[in-house]
Structure 1
Amino acid sequence: MIGKKYLAGLLFFICANTLTVSAQQTLTLKNAIQTAVNNYGTIKAKAQYAEASKVSVVQAKRDYLPNLNVSAQQDYGTINGQNGPLYGFGGLGVASSGVPLPNQNWNAAFGGLYLANVNWDFFAFGRAKEKIKTAQAVATRDNKDWQQEIFQQEVKVAAAYLNLLAAQKLTQSYQKNLNRADTFRRVVVTRVKNGLSAGVDSAQANAEVSGAKIALTRAIDFEQTESSQLAQLMGVPVQTFTLDTVFVSRVPAFPGDTSALNNHPLLQWYKSRIALSNEQMKYYRTLSYPAFSLISVLQTRGSGFEPTYNAQNLNAYTHNYWDGTKPTRTNYLVGIGVTWNLTQPLRISQQVKSQRMISKGLQDEYDLVNQQLLAQLQLSDTKITNALSNYNEVPVQVKAASDAYLQKSVLYNNGLTNLVDVTQALYTLIRAETDRDIAYSNVWQALLLKASAAGDFKLFENQL
């Protein structure tokens, strides 16, 4: 019994340690991005739309194939005929045929009709070709939309990753700040008990500890918010992430010239929208022209009524099923026809005009986005300069603040200064450490902004 309990406990300990190691596995930025690309709903949806558009291209090509219809029917009924006009309104007229008789009779026999029909619009002034091109333009647009969505997601995940890493560093700094405040509080309380400091100092020290706790709670709340944002972008449950600290251990090498903005995924998508609109305009033009059709019909019929069936010989028919349904007469028809709605150009011209205006509107949207990306690219260079300047200045600030706090603490311990000076030095140190944590992240964020504006995520990814 003891052995089983020991074995069960050992297994539980091993499993618990395994889960802990798995949970603490470092999440690299590349893994985060790949997970987001695989899991994020919008990307998966647009991938399906792109595949659907590719299938539509195949459908558009097959629409040019001729229509081939076959039919067969076997009936039983009478064939009373009558001279006079007839209009089969709505296709509800009965196609019974026979000799006109002076009186109604109920002679009935079997009959059969077997039909094959080919109808092919073999020439319509490029209508089928333009329809295929339009379908291909739709497929290109949806594919570009998918690609730009992946690019946007890569940038969003990278930004969220850097924000979370900065939030975690801030939490660590505020935890250190709480530890410092608590340590100093104990020193103050000891001095107050020994009568070396005024009693108000202990109250102020307690207040500083409470303030440090509140600041730490806010930092933790901010970290949890950023962690939730990263989890949402990755399409995974909210959890605690252990991130790669490479972004706070070094700064990237910044590239000089970037690739042309024409290759930006977002601009490529806008271009594909313009191309699709132009193809639709060309396709609409073809609807104004006539369509030349090739038609072919092969028809076979059978009837239980004999050729001699007439008013003088009403018995020349049979109720035999096979005699009525077997084919006995065949006709064929081959021809070429043309169909042209002469008022169609009046309608299509306005549709073409409307589509031309849509193309101009899409071009205006393209120009606007291009202008915004150029401005963002220029801004990124400024951001890089400023971020590097702050990064180089932060170590000086942190060292000076640390030395000042240490000096004020020593002076206070020796009764040579008051608690206000120590508190002020502590605030300065907190601000310096916060600036340090943010400065590292801002350098990488500036590079990410440049990669986003240039439309080349490899500018950022190659630095990892």
Structure 2
Amino acid sequence: MWSKKHLLLAAVLVSSGYSAYAQQVFTLKQAIDTAIANYGTIKAKASYTAASREQVSQARRDYLPNLNLSAQQDYGTINGQNGPMYGFGGLAAASAGPALDHQNWNAAFGALYLTNINWDFFAFGRAKEKVKTALAAATQNDKDWQQEIFKHKVKVAATYLNLVAAQQLTRSYQENLDRADTIRRVVRTRVLNGLIAGVDSSQANAEYSSARIALTKAKDFEQTQSNELAQLLGIPPQEFTLDTTYMSRIPAIPSDTLSLDNHPILQWYKSRIALSDEQSKYAKTFYYPAFTLVGVLQTRGSGFGAGYVTNQNDYSHGYWDGVNPTRTNYLLGLGVTWNITQPFRISRQVRSQQQISKGLQYEYELANQQIHAQLDLSDKKIKNALDNYREVPVQVKAASDAYLQKSVLYKNGLTNLVDVTQALYVLIRAETDKDIAYSNVWQALLLKAAAAGDFSIFEN
């Protein structure tokens, strides 16, 4: 067992590994790789996929013949009796001996050694359809795993962008608080010097408190996004130092026509339909009989002699005399089994499965329609986000110039605090609009990548 020192060292190493995200830039690619490696749902579906692949191997091996080896050694009597009997549940003894006119208790050893082979070698494609059904189930699980990875990539990227924007908004509101504090100190100085009325000081204090509240709300939103990102990554909550280049540049927007043929979500819907169709085909194979090849090799030993019928003393108590095999038989056979009422039962199961396939087809068509609509919406959102992005610099410059002008005028006693406060509101709104505009362009591109089913559109 580990000592306390070793356990403490391991805990320090683990915590230092997690805190490294806060000490160096944690890129989006690192976030996605971490999420795929750690997130529980993805790991669970990976296990389901591996399990279904094992079931394919099992389905292939089910075609192999049944080969049974049996051996038994017994000690008992062999009194026989004429009369019909059926051994329900295998509860009767299989003693073979003469039907004497009296009971005797002569006992000896006996043995049976048996090899049996039983092979359904032809059942009108039943074994092949079972393998195909297992393959379809494995494909469905694999497609489900892949679409889960794709959706999780989109979730991680969206939350990552939200956190980048939230951190930038926090910085903007911190700058706004600094400006409000500067105004408050200027007002306080002018009030103390008797240059303005004391009411301006109260108003400046109120604006400063309002700026602090806005900053606290921004921090709260940032902490929420950070917590959500940690959950998606499958790691403990912590502070992240993220790649801020998303707030200083915009991505290249693809203009090519995108195909949805390989969309992970649509591929998953298709795999569900394919599995249902295979299950229907497999059920139909039970309409038909199964041809079976059988073979038996049996050898027996007995402590009772061949003349025991006429001489009840012709037996031996010796163990080896009873278990030594002395008689052997073999049997080869070809049989056919067909439950003629089976088609009447299975036909309803087949119809039920066909209706399930039809329902899955409707779900696929709905998903396809929604994805096409989402793709169209993403193009519109990209256009709107780019329009806002181009307008933001004008808004920020105008608001910054207005605030600078009003603050200078106020310091020289040429305007009132209300005008300065109004200019401050306009400036912080322009700065936050700028932060949001950059983020919205990336979010719109992410929406397009999600709709197209191609995450490389966003990554590249």
The normalised TM-score by structure 1 is 0.94
Partner-residue secondary structure (3-state), 1:115? strand
Which residue pairs with 2:329 in the alignment?
Answer: 331
Which residue pairs with 1:46 in the alignment?
Answer: 45
Amino acid corresponding to residue 337 of structure 1 in structure 2:
G
Which residue pairs with 1:192 in the alignment?
Answer: 191
Q: 1:374-420 CA deviation, whole Å, 9 max, x = no partner?
A: 00000000000000000000010011011111111111111111111
Which residue pairs with 2:9 in the alignment?
Answer: none
Which residue pairs with 1:121 in the alignment?
Answer: 120
Measure, in 1, the Cα distance between the counterparts of 2:19 and 2:295: 76
Candidates 354, 357, 360, aligned match of 1:356: 354
2:415 aligned with 1:424: no
Which residue pairs with 1:4 in the alignment?
Answer: none
Which residue pairs with 1:149 in the alignment?
Answer: 148
CA contact (8 A) 1:174 1:216 kept: yes
Measure, in 1, the Cα distance between the counterparts of 2:18 and 2:300: 79
Displacement of 1:421: 1.0
CA contact (8 A) 2:147 2:268 kept: yes
Partner-residue secondary structure (3-state), 1:84? coil
Which residue pairs with 1:455 in the alignment?
Answer: 453
Matches within 5 A, 1:86-101: 86-101=85-100
Measure, in 2, the Cα distance between the counterparts of 1:201 and 1:266: 60
Q: 1:241 to 1:110 in 2, by over 3 A?
A: same
Q: 1:257-299 CA deviation, whole Å, 9 max, x = no partner?
A: 2431121000000000000000000000001110000000111
Displacement of 1:208: 0.6
CA contact (8 A) 2:19 2:238 kept: no
CA contact (8 A) 2:287 2:343 kept: yes
Displacement of 1:91: 1.5
Q: 1:35-83 CA deviation, whole Å, 9 max, x = no partner?
A: 1111111111111111111111111000000000010000000000000
Runs ≥4 in structure 1, deviation > 2 angstroms? 17-23
Which residue pairs with 1:439 in the alignment?
Answer: 437
Q: 1:211-257 CA deviation, whole Å, 9 max, x = no partner?
A: 11111111001000000111111111111100111211211110012
The normalised TM-score by structure 2 is 0.95
Amino acid corresponding to residue 437 of structure 1 in structure 2:
D
Displacement of 1:185: 0.2
Which residue pairs with 1:380 in the alignment?
Answer: 378
Amino acid corresponding to residue 189 of structure 1 in structure 2:
R
Which residue pairs with 1:203 in the alignment?
Answer: 202
Measure, in 2, the Cα distance between the counterparts of 1:198 and 1:277: 81
Q: 1:60 to 1:20 in 2, by over 3 A?
A: closer
Aligned length: 445
CA contact (8 A) 1:302 1:326 kept: yes
Q: 1:18 to 1:101 in 2, by over 3 A?
A: closer
Amino acid corresponding to residue 25 of structure 1 in structure 2:
Q
Measure, in 2, the Cα distance between the counterparts of 1:180 and 1:372: 47
Q: RMSD in angstroms over aligned alpha carbons?
A: 1.3
Which residue pairs with 1:111 in the alignment?
Answer: 110
Partner-residue secondary structure (3-state), 1:417? coil
Amino acid corresponding to residue 145 of structure 1 in structure 2:
D
Which residue pairs with 2:248 in the alignment?
Answer: 249
Uncovered stretches (5+) of structure 2, i.e. residues with no partner: 1-15
Which residue pairs with 1:134 in the alignment?
Answer: 133
Which residue pairs with 2:224 in the alignment?
Answer: 225
Q: 1:144-173 CA deviation, whole Å, 9 max, x = no partner?
A: 111111111111110010000000000000
Which residue pairs with 2:6 in the alignment?
Answer: none
Q: 1:454 to 1:174 in 2, by over 3 A?
A: same
Measure, in 2, the Cα distance between the counterparts of 1:263 and 1:313: 85
CA contact (8 A) 1:267 1:369 kept: yes
Displacement of 1:193: 1.2
CA contact (8 A) 1:292 1:338 kept: yes
Measure, in 1, the Cα distance between the counterparts of 2:160 and 2:19: 22
CA contact (8 A) 1:248 1:441 kept: yes
Counting aligned pairs with the same residue, the percent is 73
CA contact (8 A) 1:297 1:332 kept: yes
CA contact (8 A) 1:259 1:456 kept: no
Matches within 5 A, 1:268-307: 268-307=267-306
CA contact (8 A) 1:258 1:454 kept: no
2:308 aligned with 1:320: no
Which residue pairs with 1:12 in the alignment?
Answer: none
Measure, in 2, the Cα distance between the counterparts of 1:200 and 1:357: 77
Amino acid corresponding to residue 98 of structure 2 in structure 1:
V
Amino acid corresponding to residue 301 of structure 2 in structure 1:
G
Matches within 5 A, 1:53-92: 53-92=52-91
Uncovered stretches (5+) of structure 1, i.e. residues with no partner: 1-16
